[in-house]
A and B are shown apart, each in its own frame.
Chain A
């Protein structure tokens, strides 16, 4: 017999969130190690590389930051690029917001800090599953917290392992090449239609053409061009 959702305790909710996050860690753990490795390859100190995992706590944005630092980009370009790369989190924020409405400000703050792609995926699945029920657990945010903190712990530990390994591998291994390879692994499966293909191609070409621009402004120009071309192609079809 399934117990009534309203009888779930905080602790039950927390552990069930942790448990449901576990399968996702299989994909996150290697990425954490890769980040640690390539952050050192990009010239970051071990302390800064680890601090970035706690302060920024966003995998692809961290890899992008490492790459930009490697190329000696100015701070403002790094910050603007991170903002653009992380804009999708505003969508997640909008999506979970109705479920967190009654929480205290500190609780909202903690859950927002933990709102990564992977924690969002697990938490929103739970909220949507609850959707049709008349009676829902009053402690669902502990489920979200369990999922988020599990991912957080995994990310910190695997970053540390990557940094440990990265400091012990010779420079002749060209480990900095893992940066563009990681981007290739992330972008190729996302090119599902003509519009996203056109966005990628136009952005890449503008980035090449704008290499001479100062402060690596070419990257921002390329990103904006890519998004505009993608929207244009999508609008026509």
Chain B
């Protein structure tokens, strides 16, 4: 895939979203359902990206304890819950992955 046009379109759409109401003000109102729905977007999109990344290895579902990425991911989620810190979460997850990869020899 040629990535540059995709980036340009993604950038233009982001800009258009940010500009939208600054230009339209007074002409349209934000529908309440849209405002309510927005709250769930990060949780939905990010979870949809995370789960396959932890559970699927080489095209197969691997929800078991020999899958280092699953264990490291769960540990990182616990760290994220208690610290609410991005750096601490990444550090814990990467350390766990490296140790598990050594132990499980994968």
Does B104 lie at the interface of the complex (its beta carbon under 8 Å from any beta carbon of A)? no
Q: What is the CA–CA distance of A199 and B76 in the complex, to the nearest angstrom?
A: 20
Determine whether the beta carbon of A79 is less than 8 Å from that of B38. Answer: no
Does A67 lie at the interface of the complex (its beta carbon under 8 Å from any beta carbon of B)? yes
Q: A93-B17, A190-B42 are in contact. Are A222 and B50 (CB under 8 A)?
A: no
Determine whether the beta carbon of B50 is less than 8 Å from that of A183. Answer: yes
Contacting residue for B44 out of A69, A177, A182, A222, CB 8 A: A222
Determine whether the beta carbon of B7 is less than 8 Å from that of A48. Answer: yes
Q: Give the number of residues in B that approach A within 8 Å (Cβ atoms).
A: 66
Chain B hits for A90, CB < 8 A? 17-18, 20-21, 30
User: Which residues in window 46-97 of B have CB below 8 A to A?
Assistant: 46-56, 61, 69, 72-73, 76-77, 80-81, 84-87, 89-90, 93-94, 97
Q: What is the CA–CA distance of A74 and B2 in the complex, to the nearest angstrom?
A: 10
Determine whether the beta carbon of B43 is less than 8 Å from that of A187. Answer: yes
Q: A72-B1, A187-B46 are in contact. Are A207 and B51 (CB under 8 A)?
A: yes
Partner-A contacts on B (CB < 8 A): 1, 3-11, 13-15, 17-26, 30, 33, 35-56, 61, 69, 72-73, 76-77, 80-81, 84-87, 89-90, 93-94, 97-98, 101
Partner-B contacts on A (CB < 8 A): 27, 30-31, 34, 44, 48, 51-52, 55-58, 60-61, 64-65, 67, 69, 72, 74-75, 78-79, 81-98, 100-101, 108-109, 111-113, 115, 173-174, 177-191, 195-197, 199-208, 211, 218-219, 222-227, 230-231, 234
